[in-house]
Chain A
Amino acid sequence: DAKTTQPPSMDCAEGRAANLPCNHSTISGNEYVYWYRQIHSQGPQYIIHGLKNNETNEMASLIITEDRKSSTLILPHATLRDTAVYYCIVRARLIYNQGGKLIFGQGTELSVKP
């Protein structure tokens, strides 16, 4: 699975959009980009995933560059409850019966401030 690079920390003002970047320059054609977040002392929570098209759900938007070497997670109106560590993970589509495998890096610690 491809390696990802994220800034260690970011700040965002409450109510503003939080844009979290991720570099994955060695991504393969069959690898998806996943985003999870972990609020302090809780288990990680799935946010969104994508292959090559931009994606949006009720939590966030995911923008993947055309060459797929980087992506940005966008929280459109950050709240204090969005303060967490955000993980960008690249993973290939699984073979049945092999189980999943998420390789977590250090992630980006997002602090949303009033």
Chain B
Amino acid sequence: ETGVTQTPRHLVMGMTNKKSLKCEQHLGHNAMYWYKQSAKKPLELMFVYSLEERVENNSVPSRFSPECPNSSHLFLHLHTLQPEDSALYLCASSQEGGGSSYNEQFFGPGTRLTVL
């Protein structure tokens, strides 16, 4: 248990559906992240939020839309996805700044997404 929870853990959706992934961190951190992990590939950073502002969008298609309503919650809204978007989506949080050298990221268990 890392203090970062993700729901749902598994999701199957059609290409015309709209769904949302939810992430919640209970660690009091000020930065949150979405990563994508496709089969046999390294983790890819998608979005970074720091103090609820998006500070990085790593060339992610617009069919993925992140939302960070407060420092504890992060959403990833999905619409008109493609089968190649099937992957493990991981959320992470960290405490950035304040002179800390390591800024350890804590990861949630991930949502396994299958797009049919």
Contact = CB atoms under 8 A, between A and B. Distances in A.
Contact-residue bracket for chain A: 20 to 34
Given A32-B101, A49-B102, A96 B96 contact: yes
A46 B106 CA distance: 7
Contacts of A42: 109-110
B102 A97 contact: no
Interface residues of B, number: 33
A90 B59 CA distance: 22
Interface of B: 2, 4, 31, 33, 42-45, 48-51, 53, 55-56, 88, 90, 92, 94, 96-98, 101-110, 112
A interface secondary structure, majority: loop
Interface in A57-114: 93-107
12 contacts: A41-B88, A41-B110, A43-B2, A43-B90, A44-B43, A96-B96, A96-B97, A97-B97, A98-B55, A100-B31, A101-B48, A106-B42
